[in-house]
A and B are shown apart, each in its own frame.
Chain A
Amino acid sequence: MSMIPTMRHVRGFDVVRPLSIGMLMFMMLPLVFLPLLSIFIFGTSKGLASFWSALTASEAVFALKLSMVTSFWATVFNVVFGLFAAYVISRHNFWGRNALIVTISLPTAIPTAVAGFALLLLWGPYGTLGRFLAPHGIQIMFTAGAIILANIFVTFPLAFGVIKPVFDTMSRSLEEASATIGATRWQTFWHVTLPSLRGAIVSGALLTFARAVGEFGSTILVSGNLAGRTQTAPLYIFAKFNEGQIEAANAIAIVLALFSFLIFSVLFFAREWLDVD
């Protein structure tokens, strides 16, 4: 009955190893590999020249730039905020602390479309706050600012989620030692605490950035989706797909796919490199 274990022992060869690896790859084939592959096949089906001209169309270039810039600022904000929030929450115990942790994590589960219209209901020209700003000519929605706000909302928990566990497990003895030799709180934070968070900060930033670049659901609601003005790369892809220009959509999709591949590769190696302490 027990053929396989016997064989394994006899031949000194673990059948389960290639079998399980092969099975893993096979399962990922239709779920991830093939869908990604079809983007590449379709995007280049009309030749590299048409792929290139789709990529360098002025609206496409603008959309990519806009995505990068808005995601960058959302990342800066969320890393600084995540660092601050993780510091406060893991160093102090206070009433409402757990509720705060839950609230920070909420955007993970909220549909991005809800994030979008929640922002519209607040900042829109007829929104709770927006209606008081509109008469002064201040409009946040349907500008790049709205895209940044939406990115901040949907990526809110990411950097915090990576940084907080490191804070939690960090040995306090180094900080205490630093304090006993006369360092101020700020010096301790800058020279002792922060350096040990390097890995977490870099991976938190990359995760936030990658997620923000791909954001669609909230952006389509708050940006106004004007080509060459407030249209981000994912919106451009969606618009081109709807227009039936599937090659144009695919060209940008390829760029974003390669981009996320790059980000996660960097993430993988950066962690190994920065986290050894």
Chain B
Amino acid sequence: MRVVAYMKRRSLPGLFLLLVLLAASSCLPKPPAESGGINITLYGFSVMKESLEKAIYPAFAAKWKREHGEDVRFTSSFAGSETITNQILQGVGAEIGIFSIDRDPQRLKEKGFVTADWHTGPHQGIINKTPFVILVRKGNPKGIHDFADLAKPGVRLIHPDPVSSGGAQWSILGIYGSELKLSEKQSGEPDKARALQTLQAIWKNVISTPGSAREARTTFELGNGDALVTYELEGLLMKQANAPIEIVVPQATIFSEHPAVVIDRNVPAEKRQVIDAFMQYLWSDEAQQAFVKFNFYSVTSDAFNTANKEFGHVEIPFGVDYFGGWAKAYPDVIEKIFRDQVQRRK
């Protein structure tokens, strides 16, 4: 008993000794990114991850090292396009943003984070593009051959959440625009009532709205749902990983276009040169071919695109310009059609 009592008396100083030891070893871990060289902080929408981390970053770092003898490192975070925009608006130190939709840098410009007009850059600031497709289970058991088939009763659809995901907004424009294009082809007039009805019927079949296109893919990969509307490159990446899925290319579908923008407010003067060089690099042949390798379409050269044999054939492609650009597409389709007449209607 006396031993126990002794130990008890001793345990308090012992505890403090332990705390001091812990405190001494508790200096914050050193981020690998800050151990010398230049660090560029980039926030990107969810599906940009592979092409940037596996090809663009290392290639640019090598090029900069060759030409200037300095090490460049990248720190990045990937999430839904709207999510990263909101993070930047809250003050995260992103120096470059790659967005799914043009509306997001527009929001940053309105708040003074972006001062230059990225539309005046090469290809209106767009670095790559990709069509929207439907992913289904192997053998296509639900018989889905176009967007309209997603409205069939009993189809369980995974669709990212347009509140946080730019891809989700592209998908909505894709479905709605596809119906307009098809009705135009059949009767010479785009049928807005039909497009709205299809969108409403499809939305009733949505069982889950994950926060980003990548999150939606994970949900689908885990066996949830019969179909997923997403970027074609996601389907191609899944097929390359031997996932048991099939890609259904709709007859008419939208090509999403992704702007890369410098967040001027967060760029210190001494980093301007390397960041501008990186931005230019995104449109170089080397970077554009890397994007194609990772299943994005190049914006600079159609010859690059023919190199990727996996791309599906889109009979009637269209872009956001079909709706008059994002400045019109967002209020007219995402807000007035989707939010007011599809989502709110129960």
Q: Identify which of residues 211-241 in chain B touch chain A, using a CB-to-CB cut-off of 8 Å.
A: 211-212, 214-215, 217-218, 221-222
Interface presence of B269 (CB below 8 A):
no
Mostly, the A contact residues are helix
Q: Give the CA-CA distance A252 to B121 in the complex, in Å.
A: 42
Asked if B76 and A242 sit within 8 Å, CB to CB, the answer is no
Q: Does A213 contact B (CB under 8 A)?
A: no
Complex contacts, B9 vs chain A, CB 8 Å: 195
- Tell me, rounded to whole Å, the shortest Cβ–Cβ distance linking A147 to chain B: 10
Task: Check B26–A242 contact: CB distance below 8 A.
Answer: no
| CB contact list, B87-107 vs A, under 8 A | 87, 90-93
Which residues 137-184 in A have Cβ within 8 Å of B in the complex? 139, 141-142, 144
Cβ of B29 and Cβ of A65 under 8 Å apart? Answer: yes
Partner of A198, one of B12, B19, B29, B92: B12
A-B contact pairs, 24 of them (CB 8 A): A62-B29, A62-B31, A62-B32, A69-B27, A69-B28, A76-B19, A120-B90, A124-B91, A141-B90, A141-B91, A142-B92, A194-B12, A195-B9, A224-B87, A226-B41, A226-B75, A226-B92, A228-B32, A228-B33, A229-B33, A241-B218, A242-B215, A244-B217, A246-B218
**Interface residues in B12-38 (C-beta closer than 8 Å to A):** 12, 15, 19, 22-23, 26-29, 31-33
Q: Let me know if B301 is at the binding interface, CB within 8 A.
A: no
On whether the beta carbons of A66 and B221 are closer than 8 Å, the reply is no
Indicate if the CB atoms of A228 and B12 lie closer than 8 Å. Answer: no
Contact A229 B12 (CB under 8 A): no
Chain B: interface size category: 35 or more
In the complex with contacts A125-B91, A225-B77, A274-B11, A243-B29 CB distance below 8 A: no
Q: Is B123 an interface residue (CB 8 A)?
A: no
Q: Is A85 an interface residue (CB 8 A)?
A: no
* Residues of A close to B92: CB separation below 8 A: 142, 224, 226
Q: List chain B residues, Cβ under 8 A from A65.
A: 29
A73 to B79, CA, bound (A): 29
Task: Count contacts on A: residues with CB < 8 A to the other chain.
Answer: 37
CA of A134 to CA of B197, assembled, Å: 50
Chain A positions within 8 Å of B15 at CB level? 198, 201-202
A242 / chain B contacts, CB cutoff of 8 Å:
46, 79, 211-212, 214-215, 218
A: residues with CB less than 8 A from B are 58, 62, 65-66, 69, 72-73, 76, 120, 124-126, 130, 139, 141-142, 144, 194-195, 198, 201-202, 221, 224-229, 239, 241-244, 246, 274, 277
Q: Quick one: given A224-B77, A274-B11, are A243 and B31 in contact (CB under 8 Å)?
A: no
Closest Cβ of chain B to A104, distance in Å, is: 23
Contact status B29-A69, CB under 8 Å = yes
> Which of the residues B8, B27, B93, B212 comes within 8 Å of A142, measured between beta carbons?
B93
| Least Cβ–Cβ distance between B40 and chain A, in angstroms | 12
Q: How far is the CA of A66 from the CA of B218 in the complex (A)?
A: 26
* Pick from A66, A139, A198, A243: contact of B11, CB under 8 Å: A198
Q: How far is the CA of A75 from the CA of B116 in the complex (A)?
A: 45
Greatest chain A CB density within 10 A among B28, B75, B217 is at B28
Whether B12 pairs with A225 at a CB distance below 8 angstroms is: no
- Could you say which residues of chain B place their CB within 8 Å of the CB of A277? 8
> How far does the alpha carbon of A163 sit from the alpha carbon of B215 in the complex, in Å?
42
Residues of A within 8 A of B22 (CB): 72
Q: What are the 10 tightest A-B residue pairs by CB atom distance, in nearest-first order? A: A125-B91, A65-B29, A224-B92, A244-B218, A242-B215, A229-B31, A142-B92, A225-B77, A69-B26, A144-B28
A117 to B292, CA, bound (A): 39
Given A229-B75, A274-B8: 7 more A-B contacts, CB < 8 Å: A141-B91, A195-B8, A198-B11, A221-B90, A224-B93, A228-B33, A243-B49
- Cα separation A120 to B87 with both chains bound (whole Å): 11
- Asked whether B323 is an interface residue with its Cβ less than 8 Å from the other chain, the reply is no
Minimum CB–CB distance from B183 to chain A (whole Å) comes to 36
Point out the residues of chain B lying under 8 angstroms from A66, CB to CB.
28-29
Residue of B nearest to A249 (CB): B218
Residue of A nearest to B210 (CB): A242
Given A66-B29, A224-B77, A243-B49, the answer on whether A142 and B91 have CB atoms closer than 8 Å is: yes
* Contact of B76 with A226 in the complex, beta carbons under 8 Å: yes
Residues of A within 8 A of B78 (CB): 239, 243
Q: How far is the CB of A38 from chain B (nearest CB, A)?
A: 12
